[in-house]
Structure 1
Amino acid sequence: MESKKTRLKVSLVGLSLVLLIAVLTECVNRNQRASFGEHAVPRELTIAKNTTNQNRDECKGTLDYLDGLMLNNIHYSNKESLDERGKSLPAGLIGDRISEVSYTMSGDACSDFVMRSGDATLLPTGTPIYEMKGYKPDFRVIADGRIFEVSDNPDAKTIGDLYDIEGKVAKVSRVSGNDGSLMREFSPEDTQAFLSDLLSLEYVGFEAIYTNNPPEYRISLQLDLNDGTNIRLGYWPKANAIVEGAYGTERMLAIVQGER
């Protein structure tokens, strides 16, 4: 049985993911509202804490951002897992340069700022953004030597649209949310069944999952990809949901819980 200390650490890791996605989701919502003119604020009043804006309530505080960027209405976040942090990218993964950071939000953006393509939370202005070889750029890009993975794509209809991983997954495992250590590796049959169901799920987005279901104990899953990188997914068993934005099948739930 897990100790209270271990459960607390697992909860903190899950909370970090929630906060990361929540920040980017709010940027998506603001961007969508601005697109329709609802409560839109001129861009010059949402950035630059200069003499013009310094007295606006929205500009007085300092926001703590998590590492993300936006390109072509797609939000990305730096989702390095615990065991990947500090490691160099595998050789040959950096592709063609496709863009660069045009504005850095940290230390400058007011709280009502609406992200646009080229904006980043922490990456310095001018940082080049590259394709990641082997993947569509609406799934993964590389900046500052790190992988930025999609956290929301409003054009995605299924998880397969969101994650460009079909035929690229070597294995699926249940791992510790505390330190990423292996708890159980799925059998080849369960891996195939899980991935088949996963990629066909309707993508509803993180916000739909998080706001329509009470937070619960989060099972951590790791998808190891053929290039040596991985994806981490959160699974809420009571809601039978992938926290990142989809409701699972009964077969997926049985596999995750080890009942197959």
Structure 2
Amino acid sequence: MRKRILLLLVLLLLTACSFNPSPQHTVIDWVDFVKWNDATYGANYEMNELKKDWETAGEVGEVKYMLDGQAGTNHQTKNGDAAYLQKGTKLYAMKGYDPAFRIIADGKVYEVTESDKAETVGDFLDIKGKVQRVILQSEQDLSFIGEFTDEHVEKLIEELLVMPYEPERRATEGKRVFFGIELVDGTMTRSVYWSETGYINYGGVASQEVKDIFEVEMQEYVF
């Protein structure tokens, strides 16, 4: 359990970063990802631990190349690449979600971590009308700290979906605030907010209204 939580924390902090390894390393421990349609998807470990038979909604592509054991340190990822999925593995849309957000491969759920062509976070974060609640989580183990008010949830999601997608503005100084967006189907998408810079790990800088919401919620639960 502790190993899984630590892995989730690491993945949250790795999103919006390149998956291309440093040429200084000769042994590559790949993050479990697949690239398709100019977007990079990371395995959603929490959902996959449930070992559910996730419903699909049609084939959208297939793996062309498996990096593990084959790719060198100078490999540049491209559409069809996957870290641990075998060549020929089919990629499917997940029922109820735009494949720009989540896809299924080899029975596992993969969630978008980067997009090469999105202009706003809402171009890939398919959660409009699907949010149950938003929670604050512990930086240590992702345990529950508190829940946003309904008013704040509504405004946060509204602002988040129109937030310009600008991963090049990634700035991670200051306190990290881990939060989860629980969806009506019981699944969750998680992210990180840096209070000093306003950067949100979905790939953009928060509006002043979103910053104000986080400030109020953080004060409520004594961050």
Q: CA deviation at 1:21?
A: 4.3
Pair 1:64-2:29 in alignment = yes
Q: Which moved more, 1:14-23 or 1:157-166?
A: 14-23
After superposition, the Cα gap between the structure-2 partners of 1:23 and 1:156, relative to the gap in structure 1 and judged at 3 Å, is closer
CA distance in 2, matches of 1:216, 1:15: 17
Aligned AA for 2:166? V
CA distance in 2, matches of 1:198, 1:59: 37
Pair 1:179-2:147 in alignment = no
Aligned AA for 2:169? A
CA distance in 2, matches of 1:77, 1:59: 23
Pair 1:112-2:74 in alignment = yes
CA distance in 2, matches of 1:241, 1:22: 13
Pair 1:131-2:89 in alignment = no
Please tell me whether Structure 1 or Structure 2 has the larger radius of gyration of its CA atoms.
Answer: 1
Name 2:12's counterpart in structure 1: 17
After superposition, the Cα gap between the structure-2 partners of 1:171 and 1:130, relative to the gap in structure 1 and judged at 3 Å, is same
Task: Tell whether the 8 Å contact from 1:173 to 1:223 is kept in structure 2 after alignment.
Answer: yes
Q: CA deviation at 1:115?
A: 1.9
Name 1:240's counterpart in structure 2: 198
After superposition, the Cα gap between the structure-2 partners of 1:174 and 1:60, relative to the gap in structure 1 and judged at 3 Å, is closer
Name 1:87's counterpart in structure 2: 50
CA distance in 2, matches of 1:59, 1:103: 23
Residues 105-137 of structure 1 deviation map (CA, whole Å, 9 limit, x = unaligned): 011101111222211011122222111011111
CA distance in 2, matches of 1:214, 1:241: 7
CA distance in 2, matches of 1:184, 1:60: 41
Q: CA deviation at 1:20?
A: 5.2
CA distance in 1, matches of 2:211, 2:113: 22
Name 1:147's counterpart in structure 2: 109
SS of the residue 1:126 aligns to:
coil
SS of the residue 1:125 aligns to:
coil
Name 1:219's counterpart in structure 2: 177
CA distance in 1, matches of 2:195, 2:120: 20
Structure 1: stretches of 5+ with no match in the other structure: 1-9, 28-57
After superposition, the Cα gap between the structure-2 partners of 1:214 and 1:20, relative to the gap in structure 1 and judged at 3 Å, is closer
Aligned AA for 1:93? E
Q: CA deviation at 1:196?
A: 1.1
Pair 1:74-2:39 in alignment = yes
SS of the residue 2:100 aligns to:
coil
After superposition, the Cα gap between the structure-2 partners of 1:227 and 1:15, relative to the gap in structure 1 and judged at 3 Å, is closer
Residues 77-110 of structure 1 deviation map (CA, whole Å, 9 limit, x = unaligned): 11334xx452123x55322122221211011101
SS of the residue 1:255 aligns to:
helix
Task: Tell whether the 8 Å contact from 2:62 to 2:89 is kept in structure 1 after alignment.
Answer: yes
CA distance in 2, matches of 1:70, 1:142: 12
Identity percentage of aligned residues: 30
- Name the TM-score, length of structure 1 as normaliser: 0.73
CA distance in 1, matches of 2:156, 2:200: 12
Task: Tell whether the 8 Å contact from 1:13 to 1:178 is kept in structure 2 after alignment.
Answer: no
Name 2:169's counterpart in structure 1: 208
Name 2:155's counterpart in structure 1: 193
Q: Of residues 170, 181, 189 in structure 1, which corresponds to 2:132?
A: 170
- Name the TM-score, length of structure 2 as normaliser: 0.85
CA distance in 1, matches of 2:25, 2:203: 33
Name 1:33's counterpart in structure 2: none
